[in-house]
Structure 1
């Protein structure tokens, strides 16, 4: 904290009080409750949970309220809170094939095994303002709206039966935990995926868009996009087996990408992968595209020099909390630094003026 002027602490206290007043807004308007934010601003809540690396809709909603709707500030609050929590165990990997799907679509197969479920989506809306919402009228329930409870097999599994898509390598190694250890390069794929899933949605989207515009070899189809709830299990040593401790909502995306083959791999399709907390399909698709772009080296492809292929560039700049901290610190007092720069400029100008005068005298 910078307190470089007399009375600075009092000014900061007053700023906090003014912030609280601005956050509340007009007191004649009913205050938003955490429950309202959680239920009616669900996509914002999902983003805060995903980029904050903590699945708790109530805390994410509280953070959004406290941050006056600034999602990056809310993500910062959630990450800060997360560091105070004790860790007493690990969950086992979730089985997304057992997901109770609210939404499950494929852009590669019309008659996808298991069926297509459009679910709640903006895809087919007309993007016209609905002024009925301003009247605060009730919205009728969707007829027959219910998640698909039966296990839904992955589309890529059917491609894999013909050997047309690269088989993912399985490993028993425990991946590094980016929430507890600093990022180290070169990063393996699990670490890259962790960075992308909690990376800034806008940044990851921009990187993904760049690959579609030719700044990487990345012609992708959405093999499958699914949104739904999966059980979370945890192994209890005293019991000797895993028990279900809850469930979480996830968005999963697998892309199918063209691959001409290399010296070590035959022609086949390859995959990009995205997995994000909550309903966050734009982020999941973007993540899958960038994941595929970053795999160029392991697939034996040529480096096209595209930004999305540069592991260091992508992973070090996708974190909006680090970026925000470094960016916003420059608005805090830097009086001493600036005074030294100012004195240096004045000195250089004096020296330049003296040299010019000397040169002029010599010419005369």
Structure 2
């Protein structure tokens, strides 16, 4: 046994060394710095932060470098590191209405107070490979300012009114949930029980695998849940994070984070006592993660089906199905453990199968012997 253990340890050390070699690649090629990853692969950094449930662009860049670009492995590394950190309090709810907006669009309204801010987006590109990027890009010459963007006068302050405010004033859309000061459940301390509260559902979706959420949201658009909304407002930018220290008793700003927030306008609801009105879906994610925020908003609305008296029957409407399978860290761990040694289990299964075959052969040969 001692020889086997030592042999296994040596093989694992060799595997780690080979992994480091593959991570580094050709030594003749300059090594990526964390600053390069953070600045030039920003969307990958933002995704790792979302699914790792930790806002730290530098650590996310480190995790992506260590994981060789594998976003799930990078999120796993961040989640493990996050679990080592002390918990000393909770921040105040983010005031996204005071966001310093960099991008703000609406698919439902053409004319918005403050205007539409396209920002940095690939929505209007032709999705053709840009071979000019094969060569280093030169910065714009000094003094050449980009063309001013429509509505950009409000960008510095970020004080842009909510796009859905007008619908709210006309009572054409349901009111947002009232903040009654009740403590918000923390799924990292108390796993949700089903049926889960909306706050628990949104927390789980925010940490969920983007690809899984997009696939489920797409299924709801195709009829498996009947959720095909309008994008009421997408806003992206920086918001202040505030904390109330016990010794002070009032909120102080401790920093800023970049977020993407999205609200959808969905199908009508109403009954004999409530006038018909639009319903809402909501999503918020770290960084420039608008695809994630959009998928969250669609699934948030789908998961409210029972609350709104709608017929259930689609995967996107099943709380347990969506929430229990959204976390790619749990899913990856349970799936990839199959690659680890299961020799004893397999031998037991093999011996059982051999016994079953012997019994089957004896039954088959018994009638022949009787003849």
The separation in 2 between residues aligned to 1:148 and 1:269, in whole angstroms, is 32
Match of 1:118?
118
CA shift for structure 1 position 164: 0.4
Q: Which runs of 5+ in 1 are unaligned?
A: none
Contact 1:101 1:227 in 2 (8 A): yes
1:261 to 262, 270, 282: 270
The separation in 2 between residues aligned to 1:102 and 1:21, in whole angstroms, is 40
With the length of structure 1 as denominator, give the TM-score of the two structures. 0.95
1:341 to 329, 332, 349: 349
The separation in 2 between residues aligned to 1:291 and 1:4, in whole angstroms, is 51
2:296 to 263, 287, 290: 287
Question: RMSD of aligned C-alpha atoms?
Answer: 1.6
With the length of structure 2 as denominator, give the TM-score of the two structures. 0.94
The separation in 2 between residues aligned to 1:278 and 1:112, in whole angstroms, is 23
Please list, as runs of the form range in 1=range in 2, the aligned pairs for 1:201-216 lying within 5 A after superposition.
201-216=210-225
Match of 1:237?
246
Q: Which runs of 5+ in 2 are unaligned?
A: none
**Equivalent position SS for 1:279:** coil
The separation in 2 between residues aligned to 1:296 and 1:212, in whole angstroms, is 14
**Equivalent position SS for 1:49:** helix
The separation in 2 between residues aligned to 1:16 and 1:131, in whole angstroms, is 36
Match of 1:273?
282
Query: Are residue 307 (structure 1) and residue 312 (structure 2) matched?
Result: no
Query: Are residue 105 (structure 1) and residue 105 (structure 2) matched?
Result: yes
Contact 1:216 1:293 in 2 (8 A): yes
Please list, as runs of the form range in 1=range in 2, the aligned pairs for 1:135-150 lying within 5 A after superposition.
135-140=135-140, 142-144=146-148, 147-150=155-158
Contact 1:263 1:300 in 2 (8 A): no
Count of residue pairs the alignment pairs up: 360
Contact 2:269 2:308 in 1 (8 A): no
Contact 1:265 1:299 in 2 (8 A): no
2:175 to 135, 150, 167: 167
Contact 1:4 1:333 in 2 (8 A): no
Query: Are residue 199 (structure 1) and residue 208 (structure 2) matched?
Result: yes
Match of 1:251?
260
**Equivalent position SS for 1:158:** helix
